[in-house]
Amino acid sequence: MGEILENKIETIEEKTVLKLRKPVMIDGEEKKEINYDFENLTGQDVDNAFAAARKNGYMINGPYEMDPILGGYLFCEAANIDYSDLKRFSARDFKKAGTLGRNFFITDLADQAEDI
């Protein structure tokens, strides 16, 4: 029984979708939802997100784990979209995407704390 529950949870986690409150045009196509996958990101992807933020003039100050803008850049890596696409999201959708990226960092920190 426990194995069946674990498989359902894994399947749900693999299908991660941000449902947009307001559709946005990406690559000439109207999107109402954005698929994303944090679990398959690599260190290079995280580095790419930070590099894109710096390249766009964003100054990284303070703890990156709490930064919603860096969370947005990381979300873009997980969703395989450009940050310029994210900037066209409604403010609420933009905030959700940034929070998802930020939560990825924060949850990871909580998991590490449990291991100590």
Query: If the chain, 116 residues long, is cut into consecutive pieces of 10 residues, what is the mean pLDDT of each piece?
Result: 43 71 96 95 94 91 84 96 96 96 77 56
Confidence (pLDDT) at 35: 96
Q: Which two tokens stand for residue 99?
A: 């929070």
Q: Give the separation between CA 20 and CA 30, rounded to whole angstroms.
A: 11
Are 102 and 64 contacting, i.e. CB atoms less than 8 angstroms apart? no
Confidence (pLDDT) at 106: 85
Confidence (pLDDT) at 61: 80
